Structure 1
Amino acid sequence: MHHSTQENSSVLLEMIQQVTENGESGMLEAMRVLLNEAMKVERSNSLEADPYERNESRLGYANGYKNKTVNTRLGAMKLNIPQVRGEIDFYPSSLEKGLRSERALMTAMAESYIQGTSTRKVTKLLEKICGLSVSKSQVSRVVTELDESLEKWRNRPLGKYSYLLVDARYEKVRVDKTVRDCALLIAYGIDESGKRSVLGTSVSLSEAEVHWRNFFLSLNARGLHGLKMITSDSHSGLKAALKTVFGSIPWQRCQFHLQQNAGAYVPKKAMRSEVAQDIRDIFNAPSKLEAERLLKLTCLKYEEKASHLSEWMESALPEGFSVFDLERSCWTKLRTTNMVERQNREILRRTRTVSIFPNEASLLRLASAILMELDETWIATKRVYLSV
């Protein structure tokens, strides 16, 4: 189903006009126009028929609109939610998706405010978002509602995935009146057809190996199977946890991070670029055999002038060789955690607004909402990430 190009361009013109004439205050109106239009298109798609179109495969009928006011970062937005009658259940996902992470961010800030950990920045943001009418009951109602849907998503059954990419990032969380680093673990999967999914996420202050182990066990318990390789950086406790839970599955240590780690073993600054080039040459070898040959020669080359570097290379670099056992078309995308780093930047962009989370649950809520949104986008676009 496609609305006419003419209609689309008039919506776009209306949005541009709002922003150019009214600056920031026009953003809210522009957003409203866009969401209303997106919901209309979505209704037509769900009904498999445009308004007034005679169509054999029609699944129901448009049934007017219901007004709804929604609080967003830009202010209160009055929306017209399209209604349907007939066999079909319909609620616009554009509204649901757009507002889930919005609500998670809002509640994180609201919780900070209620717990008295609010900074001036948070107070200002809250005034802008919800006119400061943030009551405990209001926040806990939103929290309960959000947590139910996010938990359901986090615990959904998994299936067969060929590749797993995992990563940890750290966020500040207030625990017993002190601010501590909290590990946010994230797992991404690539299935047999080369499509990506966010498989799960977990938050904990616990000792690293236990956290990783429990996270991996939970993926297994949810039905994850069929793995050919796992890619990650060498986080503390990760290797031990992988051995316990995924002992027989090859591990690919991120080549990009390995190259960065080498810097700590280079005795003279002047040697850095030469060492970096040597490591690149090893990783860019056309086969595992050739990579191993080059590694031997490179270790010999640095044996006397940089013995620590030579020893480190001999034990660490082969951890980046697992990818050589896969089809060549997979090498570039599975030899590093670059794909994960890109998603991390998006998470950071949103968590920066909160800066210090009031508790672990609040961090898990916001991270889950952002990741669930990302996962839904990947499902909707049906794009193949890895040509298998």
Structure 2
Amino acid sequence: SRGLRGVRMFTGDKAAGMVGSIAEVFPEAAYQRCTVHFYRNVLARVPKARRPRVAAMLKAIHAMESREAAEAKALEVASELEKSKLREAAMVVRDGYAETLTYTRFPREHWRRIRTNNAIERLNREIRRRTRVVGTFPDGRSALMLVTARLKYVAESSWGSRRYLDVTLLDE
């Protein structure tokens, strides 16, 4: 109803409602699990002292040149985690790595930007920071005006005018 057409991929944090809604409303669109959220889910099952090493192993999965190489690396990482007696973390890697590799279906030039939802989260943090400064709003309209003003500023600033994706690469 908002005019979205030709949506090919969504990137998110695997919220059950969102994933279900995407499949229902945009059945042809692929779902990309945010790699940062995936890393957090794995690292939550790793003792604090071992997290830097495991984080480096996880990043190696998404540094691969192809989907096949990334899949092989993910299985290797899961095996290594099991050998290190980190079975829960290994299980999360085995169960979730495939949905973090959806970005590999798109042009390589976009991979770094579309495998996470960091841009959206950055914008949400910016809005949250601005609204917290105000504290309480007299009504919903004033809150909406502040958020809209911030979004307008971002759209007109260098942050908003930087080309995020070269969409001509997506034409088939």
Provide the TM-score with structure 1 as the length reference: 0.39
Aligned to 1:223: 3
Whether the 8 Å contact between 2:7 and 2:26 is mirrored in structure 1 is no
Aligned to 2:64: 285
**Cα deviation code 1:45-77 (max 9, x no counterpart):** xxxxxxxxxxxxxxxxxxxxxxxxxxxxxxxxx
Flag structure 1 segments of 5+ consecutive residues without an equivalent: 1-220
Q: Secondary structure at the match of 2:133?
A: coil
Whether the 8 Å contact between 2:41 and 2:92 is mirrored in structure 1 is no
**Cα deviation code 1:144-198 (max 9, x no counterpart):** xxxxxxxxxxxxxxxxxxxxxxxxxxxxxxxxxxxxxxxxxxxxxxxxxxxxxxx
Q: Secondary structure at the match of 2:11?
A: strand
How much has 1:383 moved relative to structure 2? 4.3
How many residue pairs were aligned?
165
Aligned to 1:385: 164
**Cα deviation code 1:219-273 (max 9, x no counterpart):** xx1221012211222235211221211222111111122212222111x223211
Aligned to 1:262: 42
Distance 2:18 2:111 in 1: 22
Distance 1:318 1:265 in 2: 19
Distance 1:358 1:310 in 2: 50
How much has 1:357 moved relative to structure 2? 4.6
Distance 1:357 1:257 in 2: 32
Aligned to 1:272: 51
Alignment of 1:154-233 (within 5 A): 221-233=1-13
Distance 2:161 2:77 in 1: 43
Does residue 351 (structure 1) correspond to residue 134 (structure 2)? The answer is no
Q: 1:356 to 1:241 in 2, by over 3 A?
A: farther
Distance 2:139 2:12 in 1: 27
Distance 1:329 1:345 in 2: 26
Identical aligned residues as a percent = 34
Which of 331-340 and 298-307 deviates more?
298-307
Distance 1:357 1:240 in 2: 34
Q: Secondary structure at the match of 2:54?
A: helix
Q: Secondary structure at the match of 2:29?
A: coil
- Give the letter for the 1:277 counterpart: A
Q: 1:368 to 1:299 in 2, by over 3 A?
A: same
Aligned to 1:297: 76
Whether the 8 Å contact between 2:42 and 2:89 is mirrored in structure 1 is yes
Alignment of 1:47-58 (within 5 A): none
How much has 1:361 moved relative to structure 2? 5.2
Alignment of 1:21-40 (within 5 A): none
Q: 1:260 to 1:382 in 2, by over 3 A?
A: closer
Flag structure 2 segments of 5+ consecutive residues without an equivalent: none
Whether the 8 Å contact between 2:71 and 2:97 is mirrored in structure 1 is no
Aligned to 1:330: 110
Q: Secondary structure at the match of 1:384?
A: coil
Q: Structure 1 or 2: larger helix share? A: 2
Aligned to 2:86: 306
RMSD of aligned Cα (Å): 2.4
Q: Structure 1 or 2: larger strand share? A: 1
Distance 1:363 1:247 in 2: 34
Q: 1:227 to 1:356 in 2, by over 3 A?
A: same
- Give the letter for the 1:336 counterpart: T
